[in-house]
Structure 1
Amino acid sequence: MPFIRRTVVPLAVMLLSACGPSSSLEETTGETREALATGAGSAAFRAALAKRWAPIHYQDVDVTGSHSLSGRADYISRVNFDGDWSGTNNWDNAASKPLAAHAYQSVVETSSHWYIVYTFFHPRDWSDTIFDTEHENDGEGVLLIVERDGTEYGKLIGAVTVAHKDFFSFLPDGSPITSGAESSDGKLSFATFEGVQHPITAQEAKGHGLKAWPAYDIVGDGVKYYPSLTTAEEPSSASDSDVRYKLIDLYGSEGLWTRRGLSELFSSDGTFRGDTSGGCGLIAGLCSSNSANAPWGWDDGDDGSIQRGEIATDPAKLSAYYFSPSSRFSTTYTFNPFKGVGDPNAP
């Protein structure tokens, strides 16, 4: 897959809460505009909706340690960045293959809300100390809850992020919902990009836990990623502040959902296959196999009745549990391929 190395000087923009570039690299096509009325069953609408709310994403980068690849081990990429769908050579190939930035998006729809999950993938979950375990592949992300308020793309009212084996919830100012069974972990902040407000998310270096900025932040080196429907760029350095990541429809031909039964990629339902080859583990025994998950495998072990994967597969249930009032959330899906409702790949 072709990639673009950064050679341009970042442009300054006006922010609400942080700094980043402002440029209109893309325009919504007439075909996409026509698709807006068809709902989430249209791939064009899902792409437009996902682009509208896609996070401005801060990735902390550590350039030290033999497994950091001088910072490249913290760059986001796509699962098949190396040209194949094997999960057991990604650790190895991260050292030599381009890491053009991508993120997977999946949209689920009810009459009251759109639920958009963004998945950020890294070939390595790594460490620079002999006391921490490493593993091949790393998938973490965020669920954004968008209320269908009659406007074109709705109103973003909440977020739940994935940091390792825990979920964290965040609310923007003025949200119509509050904490429910799970308490809010902070504020969801926004910044202006291409003339509209986008939420800001951030991931740690090495282990790549994800929270709303500034619950995590760039410390020293770091990359700032901005969403695109057409452009995937590889950072020019570990401190590149203007990099585009390309959104991939999780349900589409380049996505992961249609490959959920591929044994080379998944060891079990929702769990990526990964082994201990390529030098993973700074000392023997500290590299674990099959340790990363796709969205339908994400789990918080202590959030009551919410089951593994339901942050993606049943986000209305999760939202009604995490936030109040629960009556605000319809739990009847009009589009949810995870449950076979409106599956775009069905015969």
Structure 2
Amino acid sequence: MTLTPESADWLQDISGATSIEEVHHVQTLWSGYGQILRVRLNQPHWPNQASSTDASKFTSVIVKQISPPALEEQGGGHPRGWNTSQSHHRKLRSYEVESAFYSHHARRCEASCRVAKCLGQADFPSGQIMVLEDLNQAGYPVRHQGLDATGVDQGLRWLANFHASFLHTVEQADRWKDLWPIGTYWHLSTRPDEFDAMPSGELKDAANKLDNRLNQSEFQTLVHGDAKVTNMCFATKPNTPPAMVDFQYVGRGCGMKDVAYFLSSCVSESECQRNESRYLATYFEALRNAMSTRGIEQAEFTSLEISWRKLYPVAWADFVRFLEGWCPGHAKLTGYSRRMVESALDSLDDQHGHSHSD
């Protein structure tokens, strides 16, 4: 697996490199939709980069080559067998969304919610190509499968700063129309096959109501949409916030979707149970500080915190709904996630059963 000749010519052209030194395969994209490569360049000077300091420093870059298989050729490409036309079109759209995020929105992300710099994008007959800064070269070479308390806090702070950067009102929804109207890869309207496969029961019956509560939250931001620990790149320098990759499912939503999903990806059930209040306190403290530095008033933060804390179990339940249809024996279907589902279902009952204002 290597660069296609047309991609290699184009990369040399946009980077000003005298040659391409090495190409290493990093990983194949989900369901065989392309590949990620690390490419070493000889003496690049990046004519499209504004500052001269940037112009020569990107000697190593990440190239994301998207070359989807034709639907009829997919066969058993999906690890769990979900090869449908809907799934194919969702993946194609996800790469368009990622391209739009890097082109139009990523510049809002500061050091507190670091993302890779996008150095170039193009479409070829063989597929789409995206060139990104190599975060390993930029000082973020550490990857984790699970996290200790410090790592969890760093991840939650990244999310809080990202969410603060993209908070908006319903009237401002149009500014994100090139992204998913509802962020996350598991949201209900894009997962009818998995919903049909769910066992019947209370959670399935309540799926639409839970989805609506998240979508109609008064406070909306952009959610990363796949904020798992393996998409975080940690720095070698202590106390440096991590960087995040993989923005295929970024879109509007309640920040709790990212928080619940992130915690499900990096800490055990017992740690989630034991430290839930501390994790949420860390996130909301970071969010308050980030909103404050962006000139958002304390009163608005207080309202948002009250609203989003109530939606934390709802976000968990929404993710569990997806897992129950997609992979019923999944390791994330724990006692803790079940308790979150019960709490979310109880909150729906409270809404309907009481007339008092909460």
Note whether the superposition's TM-score is higher than 0.5: no
| Structure (1 or 2) with the larger CA radius of gyration | 2
More strand by share: 1
Task: Provide TM-score, normalisation by structure 1.
Answer: 0.30
Q: Which has the higher contact order (CA 8 A, sep 6+)?
A: 1
Task: Provide TM-score, normalisation by structure 2.
Answer: 0.30
